[in-house]
Structure 1
Amino acid sequence: MLLCRISAVSHTVARWGLGSRRGALLHPALSFNPSRCKYASSTGDVAQPSSTPKTGQYRDSVLLPRTEFPMKLNGQKLLDRELQIQRECGFDKLYSWQRERKAKKEYCLHDGPPYANGDPHVGHALNKILKDIRNRFEVLKGRQVHYVPGWDCHGLPIELKALGELGTSGLTALQIRQKAREFAEGAIARQRAAFQRWGIMADWDNCYYTFDGRYEAAQLQVFQEMHGKGLIYQDFKPVFWSPSTRTALAEAELEYNPEHVSRAVYAAFPMATLPPKLTSVSEGWGSVSVLVWTTQPWTIPANQAVCYMPNAQYSVVKSADNEQLFLVAAERIASLSAVLGRDLESVETFAGSQLEGGVCQHPTIPGKTVPLLPANHVTMAKGTGLVHTAPAHGMDDYSVATHFKLSVECMVDEEGRFTELAGPELHNQSVLTEGTATVISMLQAAGALVKEEQCVHSYPYDWRSKQPVVIIPSKQWFINTASLKDKAKDVLQKVKVMPESARASLLAMLDKRTYWCISRQRSWGVPIPVFYHKETKEPLINKHTVSHVAELFSEKGSDCWWQEPLETLLPPEVLKKSKAGAVTDYERGEDVLDIWFDSGVSWAAVLQETDPRADVYVEGKDQIGGWFQSSLLTSVAVRNKAPYKALVVHGFAVSEKGEKMSKSLGNVVDPDVVINGGEDPSVSPPFGADVLRWWVAESNVFSEVQIGPNALNSAQENINKLRNTLRFLLGNLQGFDPRSQAVDSKDMYYVDQYLLHLLREYSMKVTDAYNEFDSGRVIRLLQAFIARDLSSFYFSIIKDRLYCDPEDSLGRRSCQTVLEEILDGVTRSIAPILPHLAEEVYQHAPGHEEGETLFRSGWIKTSPVWRRPGLEEAVEGACAIRDSFLSSIPGRNAAEYDLTIAIEPGLFFELMESLQEEPTSTCSQLTELMMASRTTLLGELPRDLPPDAVTRTGSFLINLEGGVIREDSAYSVAAVPTSLCRCPRCRRYTAETADCLCPRCQSIVGQAH
């Protein structure tokens, strides 16, 4: 036989008709109707008994599926069953078990800490389930998973929620901290309980918390290492300041409101001294004003300069309706003419570099002059090409002031109001409201207001209070990210990013951050371990002071910063090593660390000391400028490497309409309601945890992830379809023990071997998909395998053999062996996604001891011997012939036909001959694949075909050994209505007379009696 002759040949085959061969098949073989356990047609409809009284006579001799595995679980039964599975299968012990077992490799997924400021939501579900799917896959693969859940516990939002309407009035720092801790602990308890209910695998008694003393001590050690390298410093410079919450903010704590409306102005700064280089061309100009545009008129009193772009062209222009002259960028003239509603005529054009040495009169402060200065941040996208510069209120402005040694004068307090320095007209006015109006009035009174307009633009808001922020200078602690950025970009190139498109955003966010303000003026956080000299205000901070404070935090927690006397925090031996004076000369600092620094150092506090680098971080896209970046910068600062080998960046959970979820819109989906149901079960039925997990797995997590009734109902429907397939498999494995009754693959029917080959392909593709965090592809592969390879193809073919062959026959045991492998492979393949269903199936599956659990028994087991040379060609060649046969009898029952197949001698004939050795058969493997009454295999079609014969021709390409063996073989098929009768037991057209059993069924029934 050919399969034996070419057993050593490696090959590929050009597949023919794989889609069509698995299409709907008309076949009278018995199928399993789960709801009634009776004879049914292949479409699943219950077959009607014929008029022959013998119809039900042989029913007991047919081996129909039997299983106690329920077809559906709904309502409270579903919830009870999931909780029962969690208990019986030791969900709470799995993490500890796998940590204790021996494993060659470890897989570390470092958990980004969710914020402990509220109830669990679907964003948590998306994130935690996505992580758990990967962790469970790694456990099944035999790796030792390192996954420690954690919570971000400090920060202003928790402080504000904890205090509610009490505010901080009259409360000490320790009282505020106590209330904040209690609030955070309550939120953590609720979130932890939800995560456990979702089936998240972890040691929930050993999580990490950023308010834990040991965590805080590790954080201070990182702080000290960075400070020792000069990367952390104190300075007086502009920061984002939130007047609504009275604290400095980092870039990551901002939200940009694209609909913010500002009162923008075009203001004239009269030239007090013309640039020397323009002396020769300025004769006759008279009075010239530099025209600037700003969306923040309140900053004009703090103006110290006007900046220009040296390489651009500038013009002095004249307004057609008067003799007023303005200095503007040449390329902005046309736009300005339109905006101002004036025709602007160019008088003279020159290079920006020629503006050097020019001096302007300040428009609102009589007698004050400001210089014209070159700057790289000037752009031509908007405005006039000349930028009003207030070093106290802008990052770029501050850089100019540093370079040219300008004054950084601030006239705004922490409440966002003008101070006395601004003068009596502005004093105590809010800069963003009445202060802006007053400044505009002052410009108008001075004749400097050229135009006012409403400007809708993107403006930074405090991420918690949702109120606009301002930029003001403040004495704060900073990380010099400018010196870290190049190294951070370099190590980021070695990090795998999924999706790859997120890498550009990571790099862009790094570029935007020139420094990072890490001090906050709050009580609930890790105190910055610094002492200030009472007279000089000089900070005392070094490795001796920080290490001592870290030890105290590790032992007592950071509350001791406020609880302990200064002598405990700053003992004599530390003062001596620091070469400082007496303890009475100092006072403790009151600022706390930014929570992004808190969470950003988690790699140092949580990951294993041997190599504190995770295989992957998995978080939402908002962490591109948050935790991903703070972790990267702190790790690069201390260790010159990234804390992660890979990043997975997922989207946000949104409503089914794609809208952001909000209580006001009424579109919030509560994961607790998804699992347990709402007040009205008809509106919000209980779906259980696996439906929530399926929703996560099925979604394209790299974009926005929609959730709502349609998505959840679809998930439940798909799980129920999967249950039915698994139930069919379990039902047909009743009484089968693979440990003693399995058939060796080389002795199996070819179609059975072929399914093992397809199962191996499926398992390899599924494994690849899990490795790529693509559980959506896993589900698509699963559904395709079930629908195409199993339901429409294999199950249709094997039902006759499975139900009607002798129980212990080779053909039936061959089939059951494959069904058990399929059941095992499919169950394991979906286990990371649906752990409750997978363990439930495993409890009913044959071949293992009672009490064993799936997650302790490994990944899909396949064998390379399942891919036998010539196997694909034999089965797929037969399928190509069957496609031709079925196309010749559209809408008719294939089982009512005798089929003659004619193939010229050669490889293809030998392949078909291996499926049917005798010329004509009603029970060969070839007949089974054709699903016909009987099949005849010849070298050519007979000449005396009956007149009602239907013929078709076709060809099949055999391609072996990479094309070395290649044969395109022609074939012909002739279908003739069979002369045989329908057997009352198996319902195949294989009986000699209508009231007699076919030979096979006679033998089986005879043996039974």
Structure 2
Amino acid sequence: MKAGLNEQEPARLARWEKDDLYNRILSRRNPDKKYILHDGPPYANGNIHLGTALNKILKDFVVKVKSGQGFYSPYVPGWDCHGLPIEHKVDKELGDKKLALTKNDIRKLCREYAAKWLDVQRQSFKRLGVIGDWDNPYITMDYVYESITLKEFYRVYKAGEVYKGAKPVYWCSSCVTALAEAEVEYASHTSFSIFVKFPLEEGSASKLGITEPVSAVIWTTTPWTLPANMAISANPAEEYSVMRVDKVQDDAQAGNLKEGELLLVAAPRWSLVKSISGDSLEHLQTKHPFYDRTSMIILGDHVLMTDGTGLVHTAPAHGLEDYAVGNKYGIEVYNPVDDYGKFREDLPLFGGMDINKANKKIIDLMQDNGTLIAWGKMEHSYPHCWRCKEPVIYRSTPQWFISMEVNGLREKALDAVYNKVKFIPSWGSNRIGSMVENRPDWCISRQRVWGVPIALFTCRKCEGVIFNEEMEKKVIDSFVKMGADAWFEHDVEYYLGKDAKCPHCGSGDIRQETDILDVWFDSGTSHAAVCEARPELGEADMYLEGSDQHRGWFQSSLLESIATRGKAPFKEILTHGFLVDADMKKMSKSVGNVVLPEEIIAKHGAEIMRLWVASEDYTDDIRISDEIIKRQVESYRKIRNTMRYLLGNLYDFNPDEDSVPFAEMMDLDRYILLKLDETLNKIYAGYEDYQFHAFLPCFYEFLHNRSISSVFRYIKRQALFV
């Protein structure tokens, strides 16, 4: 392109930086009239991609439009530097060397890794033409930020909303840590699909008026959870049937189904022997399919009739609904799976086995002992770890949680979502609202090294938490001086004193917590660590991110602020869609349809990328391809050439001497100015509603207006005679 944007833009950016353009703009605005867009922190763990570029450019549009409207609108960029994404990369680079390092050795390497990529990303964002306080960003691994994060945790803890409990959470056996819902992605996965008989004990069958052997039938896609089975759940409001098997299909994968035997299921498939109400099944005892113990039938509204048999295999250690219904009946939360996805050594029959490899072994065992009816495989959507992309499991482990019910956290959050916060587009309110309505308690602990530790002490004897004002102050002061590394440098004696005793039971056997905080809690406290802490900022008007942050940063920020301040940390939430190619297919390296921002900039310049962002309706998925970029190049060329022509005709125009009052202008001149005013009003109305894509069609319509084109032609003809 003749404009040479890829060559001229760096010089222009250098001039902006030299002239301190960011602060010069702010100095001309009234600080009492603020509009604050608070930057959501990207992870400092690699080069930026086109989605990150789109996000930063949209933010730049908001800030510049608000600044143009006269608002004092500082932009403080930020980076998320803690957590699994960075530690995972460092782990891969270290390999077996990690085993010889201390926690603070690893933390130092994580800090260096994050700092390296932070600088790389900073240069990339500046190259996009985004103006901000790049020399003074906020960084979640800064010592002061870490100390404020801990203060916020203590505020939630002192409000009584934090507790420790053993309950099922998403668990990644590859990364060896609990995961939040926002750290789970759903992808296609092939699982076993099995139907299993749980024979009713003779006394339970007789309670149903059945004198023959009868088996309750369950269906599951996780055979590995059967060792943890402690019950079977039935729906009290549904009808069940005792059926006699008429005919057995000749199926190579059929198990031990025999003609004439009796089965208890939800819907009749063979000859009906007896109908039974769901509530009458309560407390009936069945025999576990391969262990010498019983599994009681219990009742739960979570049981659906749409899949399986209407009788749900219940393992309280491996599912939230199982845990909840089991808790009502006082059923043991038995977890035979260790941190690495293997059965514990003391588990009979399968001890030491990887749970995935054990699936077929369990099926074979039930095939041999007569409890397997049939098995097969099915492909379905299944949760995977966002970082290592491996399938995750539900597993009961001791974790720290923030209760959604204590102090009405869920209710207050929903009130903010539905009544207090403006969402752009408006459907965002229902999306995040449904997530908050149905989410479990927030699991905030991670079994990793790189992050802000859960700086608490517990008594090994009574499990009580040791916390007081003196300890709180000493820990926070050490964080301010050394950052979160201080927790791993100092021991119990340093923080509590040599003769510290548990205030609950008097024991001196005190344990220093080793888990770190969920990285979403880190970034969720940015309203306190950044907006409240920096004098040029203040309460945020807008948070702007991709729509995936409804279950990520938007939600963690909302819950943390509601828990500590009773209100949302933002007034508006703007979300944008994801990038797809020209055929609306998701961007994928394997498919080969990924477009890199640095390639566009090197070939065409950042301004072309910004024009592409301005031309797209960001509320939906956003298309990008080489052909789309070429069209933006043509659009830019049309705009540039028009401006060059007009400026060329105005080279000797002196406004002070040559301006003509509107009333004395020719009709054609007045017409053009009226059309310009009409165009600007449309564009400004779009800007007011954050509809930036309104600009290009309005501007193009103005440029291509036939009457205006005729004026341009007239000017051109007149120029020939000058």
Do both share a fold (TM > 0.5)? yes
Q: Using the alignment, how far apart are the partners of 2:28 and 2:398 within structure 1?
A: 53
Q: Answer yes or no: is 1:329 the counterpart of 2:254.
A: no
Instruction: Work out whether residues 566 and 583 of structure 1, in 8 Å CA contact, stay in contact via their aligned partners in 2.
Output: no
Q: 1:109 aligns with which of 25, 37, 40?
A: 37
Deviations 1:465-488 (A, max 9, x none): 111112111111111124422221
CA contact (8 A) 2:672 2:708 kept: no
1:771 has 2:688 as partner:
yes
| 2:149 maps to which of 204, 209, 219 | 219
Q: CA deviation at 1:630?
A: 0.6
Question: Which of 289, 297, 301 is equivalent to 2:215?
Answer: 289
Q: Distance in 2 between matches of 1:726 and 1:293?
A: 70
- Which of 62, 65, 70 is the aligned partner of 1:137? 65
Q: How does 1:63-78 map to 2 (within 5 A)?
A: 73-74=2-3, 77-78=4-5
Q: Which runs of 5+ in 1 are unaligned?
A: 1-71, 338-343, 677-685, 805-984, 987-1009
Q: Which residue of 2 aligns with 1:264?
A: 193
Aligned to 1:603: 527
How far is the alpha carbon of 1:507 from its aligned partner? 1.9
Deviations 1:438-497 (A, max 9, x none): 221222233111111212111111111111112111111111124422221110112111
Alignment of 1:662-701 (within 5 A): 662-676=588-602, 686-701=603-618
Q: Deviations over 1:675-705 (max 9, x none)?
A: 12xxxxxxxxx21110111111112212222
Paired positions, count: 703
Q: 1 CA distance for matches of 2:394 and 2:423?
A: 34
What value does the CA root-mean-square deviation take over the aligned residues?
Answer: 2.4
Alignment of 1:248-647 (within 5 A): 248-257=178-187, 259-272=188-201, 279=207, 282-283=208-209, 285-321=211-247, 322-330=259-267, 333=268, 337=269, 344-366=270-292, 368-423=293-348, 425-433=349-357, 435-482=358-405, 483-493=408-418, 494-570=420-496, 585-608=509-532, 613-647=539-573
Give the residue type in structure 2 aligned to 1:444. Answer: Q
1:246 is aligned to 176
Query: Would you say the 8 A contact 1:275–1:354 is kept in 2?
Result: no
Contact persistence 2:129–2:606 (CA under 8 A)? yes
- What secondary structure is seen at the aligned counterpart in 2 of 1:222? helix
Residue 50 of structure 2 aligns with an amino acid whose one-letter code is V
What residue number does 1:755 align with?
Answer: 672
Partner of 2:332: helix, strand, or coil?
coil
Residues 908-959 of structure 1: CA distance to partner in whole angstroms, max 9, x if unpaired?
Answer: xxxxxxxxxxxxxxxxxxxxxxxxxxxxxxxxxxxxxxxxxxxxxxxxxxxx
Q: CA deviation at 1:543?
A: 4.8
Residue in 1 that maps onto 2:251: none
Measured in 1, the distance between the counterparts of 2:456 and 2:676 equals: 63
Aligned partner of residue 388 in structure 1, secondary structure: strand
Cα 1:87/1:412, change in 2 over 3 Å: closer
Distance, in Å, in 1 between the alignment partners of 2:278 and 2:714 is 83
Q: Identify if the C-alpha distance between structure 1 residues 364 and 776 changes in structure 2 by more than 3 Å, giving closer, same or farther.
A: same
Q: Within 2, Cα distance between the matches of 1:729 and 1:107?
A: 35
8 Å CA contact 2:462, 2:505 repeated in 1: no
Asked if structure 2 preserves the Cα contact closer than 8 Å seen for 1:604 and 1:612, the reply is no
Contact preservation (8 Å) 1:159, 1:524: yes
Q: Take 2:2 and 2:508, find their aligned partners in 1: how far apart are those partners?
A: 71
Distance 2:678 2:695 in 1: 13
Q: Deviations over 1:742-790 (max 9, x none)?
A: 1111121222222222222211211121222222111111111111166
Separation in 2 of the partners of 1:745 and 1:659? 52
Amino acid at match of 1:638: T
Change (3 A) 1:739 1:429: same
CA contact (8 A) 2:5 2:607 kept: no
Deviations 1:513-539 (A, max 9, x none): 111211111111111111233544433
1:557 Cα deviation from its structure 2 partner: 0.9
Distance in 2 of aligned mates of 1:378 and 1:790: 69
Among 119, 125, 129, which residue is 2:53 paired with? 125
Tell me which residue corresponds to 2:582.
656
Alignment counterpart, residue 8 of structure 2, candidates 52, 58, 81: 81
Distance in 2, Cα, partners of 1:110 & 1:91: 25
The 1:488/1:543 distance shift into structure 2, 3 A limit, reads farther
Letter in 2 for 1:241: W
Give matches, 1:537-936, under 5 Å: 537-570=463-496, 585-608=509-532, 613-676=539-602, 686-788=603-705, 791-796=708-713, 803=719
Conserved 8 A contact 1:92-1:203:
no
The amino acid across from 1:487 in the alignment is K
Offset at residue 582 of structure 1 (A): 9.8
Change (3 A) 1:275 1:645: farther
Give the residue type in structure 1 aligned to 2:241: S
Cα distance, 1:618–1:154 mapped onto 2, change above 3 Å: same
Question: CA shift at 1:668, angstroms?
Answer: 2.8
Q: Based on CA coordinates, which of the two structures has the bigger radius of gyration?
A: 1
Describe the superposition over 1:701-759 as per-residue Cα deviations: whole angstroms up to 9, x where unpaired: 12222222112211111111001111121122121111332111112122222222222
Structure-1-length-normalised TM-score:
0.67
- For 1:84 and 1:790, locate their aligned partners in 2 and report how far apart those are by CA, in whole Å: 38
1:238/1:587 Cα in 2 relative to 1: closer, same or farther (>3 Å)? same
**Cα distance in 2, alignment partners of residues 562 and 157 from structure 1:** 21
- 1:409 CA drift (Å): 1.1
Q: Is the Cα contact below 8 Å between 2:79 and 2:139 reproduced in 1?
A: yes
**Which residue type is aligned with residue 484 of structure 2?**
S
Structure 1 position 284, deviation (Å): 5.1
For the residues of structure 2 that align with 1:395 and 1:718, how far apart are their CA atoms? 54
Tell me the residue number matched to 1:209.
139
Question: Contact 1:570/1:583 (CA < 8 Å) preserved in 2?
Answer: no
CA distance, structure 2, for counterparts of residue 186 and residue 583 of structure 1? 46
Q: Deviations over 1:577-629 (max 9, x none)?
A: x9589997434221111111111111111113699532111111221111111
Q: TM-score, normalised by structure 2?
A: 0.92
Quote the offset at 1:239 in angstroms.
1.4
Q: CA deviation at 1:545?
A: 2.9
1:92 & 1:129 partners in 2: Cα distance? 22
What is the alpha-carbon distance in structure 2 between the residues aligned to residue 579 and residue 612 of structure 1?
40
Measured in 1, the distance between the counterparts of 2:638 and 2:479 equals 55
**What amino acid is aligned across from residue 278 of structure 2 in structure 1?**
G
In structure 2, what is the Cα distance between the partners aligned to 1:438 and 1:254? 28
User: Following the alignment from structure 1 to structure 2, what is the Cα–Cα distance between the partners of residues 612 and 224?
Assistant: 22
Residues 689-698 or 93-102, more deviating: 93-102
Conserved? CA contact 1:92–1:202, under 8 Å: no
Equivalents in 1 of 2:521, 2:610: separation in Å?
32
* Whole-Å separation in 2 of the counterparts to 1:674 and 1:583: 65
Letter of the 2:386 partner, please give it.
Answer: W
In structure 2, the partner of 1:829 is none
Q: What 5-or-longer segments of structure 2 have no aligned partner?
A: 248-258
SS in structure 2 at match of 1:88: helix
Match for 1:504: what amino acid? N
Indicate how the Cα distance of structure 1 residues 604 and 262 shifts in structure 2: closer, same or farther if over 3 A, else same: same
CA distance in 2, matches of 1:565, 1:583: 17
CA deviation map 1:221-254 (0-9, x unaligned): 2111111122111111111111111111111111
